[in-house]
C-alpha cells in the first residue's frame, strides 16, 4: 500500500513513543552527552559511542516488539508479522487474508502514540479461486480519514456516504480500534470502507 503519515503524539499509548517535548529534551541530553564525550579520551569516546548505539538498538527492538504485541492483541491474523520501529517510522511486513485486515493493521500501528509514519509492506494472500474477488476488492479499497475537532461518525458517514445513519459501517470497519462509536478523537485516522 505504501507510506502513511499519522499524528505522532496522538493515539494509543503503549509505551513506544515520546512526545515532541520529550524528544527535544532527549536531543538536548544527547547533544550534552556528545559534547562531554568529545572532551574525553578518544578511546573512551569510542567505547561510549558503541554503548549508546547498542542501547539505541535495544530500545528500537523493544519498541518493535511492543508494536507487534499491540497488533496481535487486537486479534488480527497476520502471517509472518514483522514490525520494525526506527525514529517514529514503523515498517510492517507480513501476509493477511484481505485488504480490510491490511488497512486495520496499518491504522492500529499508525494510531499509536509515538508513530509518525507507517510503511506498509504487507501483502494480501491470493489463490486461484480468489483472484477475481481480490481484483474487485482492490478496485474498491477504502479511504482513510483523519478526524478533526467536532467530528462524529454520523457526520463522517454523511460526508462520505451521503447518509449519517450509515455510521455503523465506519464503526464496524474500525473495530477493534474503536470500542464505542462516540469515542473518536482529533488526529485519529479512520478507515472509510467503500460501500
Which residue, chain included where needed, has cell 481480490?
134
Pairing type for strands 89-96 and 117-124 reads: parallel
71 close to 81: Cβ distance less than 8 angstroms: yes
Predicted local distance difference test score (pLDDT) of residue 54? 81
CATH topology for 142-195? Membrane-bound Lytic Murein Transglycosylase D; Chain A (3.10.350)
Q: How far apart are the two ends of the chain, measured CA to CA in Å?
A: 20
| Domain definitions of the chain by residue range | 2-139, 142-195
pTM equals: 0.60
Q: Where are the beta strands (DSSP E) in the chain?
A: 2-5, 79-86, 89-96, 117-124, 143-146, 189-192
Compute the distance between CA of residue 193 and CA of residue 143 in angstroms, rounded to an integer: 6
90 close to 113: Cβ distance less than 8 angstroms: no
| Rounded (5°) CA angle 169-144-153 | 40
Q: Grid coordinates standing for 56?
A: 539505541
Predicted local distance difference test score (pLDDT) of residue 41? 56
**pLDDT tens string 73-111:** 999 888 899 999 988 899 999 988 888 899 999 999 989
Regions in the chain scoring below 70 on pLDDT: 1, 10, 12, 15-25, 28, 36-45, 127-140
Compute the distance between CA of residue 37 and CA of residue 16 in angstroms, rounded to an integer: 27
Predicted local distance difference test score (pLDDT) of residue 129? 43
Amino acid at each position: 500500500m505504501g507510506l502513511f503519515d499519522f499524528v505522532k503524539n496522538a493515539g494509543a499509548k503503549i509505551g513506544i513513543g515520546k512526545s515532541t517535548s520529550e524528544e527535544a529534551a532527549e536531543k538536548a541530553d544527547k547533544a550534552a552527552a556528545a559534547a562531554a564525550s568529545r572532551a574525553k579520551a578518544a578511546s573512551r569516546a569510542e567505547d561510549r559511542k558503541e554503548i549508546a548505539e547498542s542501547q539505541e538498538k535495544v530500545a528500537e527492538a523493544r519498541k518493535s516488539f511492543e508494536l507487534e504485541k499491540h497488533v496481535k492483541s487486537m486479534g488480527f491474523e497476520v502471517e509472518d508479522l514483522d514490525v520494525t520501529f526506527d525514529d517514529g517510522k514503523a515498517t510492517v511486513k507480513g501476509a493477511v487474508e484481505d485488504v480490510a485486515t491490511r488497512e486495520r493493521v496499518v491504522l492500529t500501528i499508525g494510531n499509536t502514540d509515538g508513530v509518525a509514519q507507517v510503511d506498509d509492506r504487507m501483502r494480501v494472500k491470493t489463490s486461484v479461486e480468489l483472484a477475481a474477488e481480490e481484483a474487485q476488492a482492490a478496485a474498491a479499497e477504502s479511504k482513510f480519514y483523519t478526524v478533526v475537532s467536532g467530528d462524529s461518525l454520523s457526520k463522517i458517514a454523511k460526508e462520505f456516504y451521503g447518509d449519517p445513519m450509515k455510521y455503523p459501517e465506519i464503526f464496524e470497519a474500525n473495530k477493534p480500534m474503536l470500542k464505542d462509536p462516540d469515542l473518536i478523537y482529533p488526529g485519529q485516522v479512520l478507515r472509510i470502507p467503500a460501500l
